[in-house]
Amino acid sequence: MALLEFFTGKHLDRGLHVPEHKDLTSGLPIRRLPFAPMLVVPLSQHAGAPAIPLVHEGQEVVRGEPIAKAGGFMSVPMHSPVTGRVTKLALAPTARGDLGMAIYITPYQAASQEVLYGAPQDIENMTPEEIVQAVQNTGVVGLGGAAFPTHVKMKVPDGKKIDTVVVNGCECEPYLTTDHRVMLEYPKDVLYGARIAMRALGAANAVIGVEDNKMDAVEALRNAIDANRTANVGITVESVPAKYPQGAEKMLVKVLLGLEVPTRGLPADVGLAVFNVATLAQIGELLPVRQGLIERVVTITGPGVRKPGNYLVALGTPLRFALEQADCRDDVSSVILGGPMMGAAAGSLDIPITKGVTGILVLTQKEVKASSQIYACIHCAACVDVCPIHLNPSHLGLLARKDRYEEMETDYHLMDCFECACCSYVCPSHIPLVQYFRVAKQMNRERANRERLKAKEGAHA
Ligand code: SF4
Ligand code: SF4
């Protein structure tokens, strides 16, 4: 392959083939992590309004019991991840680097930690509205990392019709194997979750897209469909080429169905609703027994841990405790929440593991040192050629360096960037383009908030 072709990414038709590093954990079954001596459950683990506490200091709680209610439709409740006692309601560090309110719970060491909370519910006889409400009660959010409340996606937007549920089982991010293991070990839950989504949305079809580097998962899902053909009518499983970022909503919809989600539009604009596969597995498991989300599967991996694995982690487990269990090495240089492409460095080891944490990647000084030096842009256009949504990252980067954030949004479609980091990855000058774009979006959000506040004050004057 010509060097120029490699740098421009032309041989790939957008997107990248990045080293996967999945073999570290893809063959390891899901194992439960022990409970930490203290769990910290933030009230804001999702997109939308924070949850509102239902418990007070000193109160005893049972594993699975609701401890905070949803703060509105765009919000979800929280459930106690352990049987124990509420130690305090206080601020705790968050992955964003700031502080947020959280419920601190000390587990009872002698408790069995069985989930005794919940009761069966008959989903088959529920209306779509009742299903949406029941899904909100589970507290489930997008477990692929977005943490968007799942029940909101299960409500058909006004004026739209959904005919197909798309289930995202790509897990294209390097190192991560959470979804892979869930598909292998819980295929029936995935299918049940898909059927619930189909019922809520009135969709006749569901298609599960899985990258072709996980053919064992494709087989497990197809076998589960065959085992109950009547119940699973309308559900199919398709393998798609392994390529980063194949799991990005727009790319997956294009490769599976040949449809284009419009710029600034939603999948509902083309009759679709897209869910992560682990999210639907949780819905399939929790909804029939009216239980809440109290734990999730997290891949803990990378050269910085001696015991990598796919761990079932109680929500609220401190990162430091999880790393100790995975036998973290002494020369760790960086801990990333998520994968190396879309993840973000953890600012503190005291932050708790929340609903949106798909993985913990632990790197040593050796891997981090390799890419630290930044050089000037050489205008090679590699970033332009690789961007899956045809943006101009080079020019956006230039504007970001001049603090022209507003222009990036109004004239150069900054908000369409879904931060896949392909542009940063191919840049021979190691320019951290995606970090610039995150900062620019944050600056624009803050400016919009200031303007809204000013307008409100003006209206009340
Ligand atoms: S991070 Fe944004 S600009 Fe860069 S390649 Fe991905 S979508 Fe394009
Ligand atoms: S930002 Fe990097 S990849 Fe893009 S044109 Fe400049 S040097 Fe090339």
Determine the Cα–Cα distance for residues 255 and 400; give it in Å rounded to an integer.
32
Measured from the CB, is residue 103 less than 6 Å from ligand 1?
A: no
Measured from the CB, is residue 423 less than 6 Å from ligand 1?
A: yes
Amino acid of residue 171: E
Measured from the CB, is residue 421 less than 6 Å from ligand 1?
A: yes
* Closest residue CA from atom 4 of ligand 1: 423
Contact 411, 398 (CB under 8 A): no
CATH of domain 127-289: 3.40.50.11540
Point out the ligand 1 atom lying closest to the alpha carbon of residue 424: 4
Do the strands 332-337 and 309-314 form a parallel or antiparallel pair, or are they unpaired? Answer: unpaired
Measured from the CB, is residue 420 less than 6 Å from ligand 1?
A: yes
Length of the chain (residues): 461
Residue 369 has a pLDDT of: 62
- Span from the CA of 197 to the centroid of ligand 1 (angstroms): 30
- Span from the CA of 112 to the centroid of ligand 1 (angstroms): 47
- Render 354-411 in DSSP notation, one character per residue: -TT--EEEEEEHHHHHTT----------HHHHH-TT---HHHHHHHHHTT-HHHHHHH
Residue 4 has a pLDDT of: 40
Determine the Cα–Cα distance for residues 18 and 32; give it in Å rounded to an integer.
30
Measured from the CB, is residue 431 less than 6 Å from ligand 1?
A: no
Do the strands 66-69 and 52-53 form a parallel or antiparallel pair, or are they unpaired? Answer: antiparallel
Residue 194 has a pLDDT of: 98
Q: From 238, 289, 279, 269, select the one nearest 123 (Cα to Cα).
A: 289
Determine the residue of 173, 420, 438, 441 to mutate for testing ligand 1's pocket, defined as the one with the most ligand atoms within 8 A of the Cβ atom.
420
* Closest residue CA from atom 3 of ligand 2: 427
Measured from the CB, is residue 389 less than 6 Å from ligand 1?
A: yes
Domain extents in the chain: 127-289, 373-460
Residue 461 has a pLDDT of: 67
Determine the residue of 3, 374, 377 to mutate for testing ligand 2's pocket, defined as the one with the most ligand atoms within 8 A of the Cβ atom.
377
pLDDT digit of tens for each residue in the chain (461 aa)?
A: 333 433 433 434 678 989 999 999 999 999 999 999 999 999 998 888 999 999 999 999 999 999 999 999 999 999 999 999 999 999 999 988 889 999 999 999 888 888 877 888 999 999 999 999 999 999 999 999 889 999 999 999 999 999 999 999 999 999 999 999 999 999 999 999 999 999 999 999 999 999 999 999 999 999 999 999 999 999 999 999 999 999 999 999 999 999 999 877 899 999 999 999 999 999 999 999 999 999 999 999 999 999 999 999 999 999 999 999 999 998 888 999 999 999 999 989 999 999 999 999 999 988 776 656 899 999 999 999 999 989 999 999 999 999 999 999 999 999 999 999 999 999 999 999 999 999 999 999 999 989 888 887 877 76
Laid out side by side, the sheet with 205-211 consists of 235-240, 205-211, 164-169, 272-276
Residue 118 has a pLDDT of: 82
Q: Which residues share a beta bridge with 141?
A: 149
Residue 145 has a pLDDT of: 84
Q: What ligand is nearest to the CA atom of residue 434?
A: 1
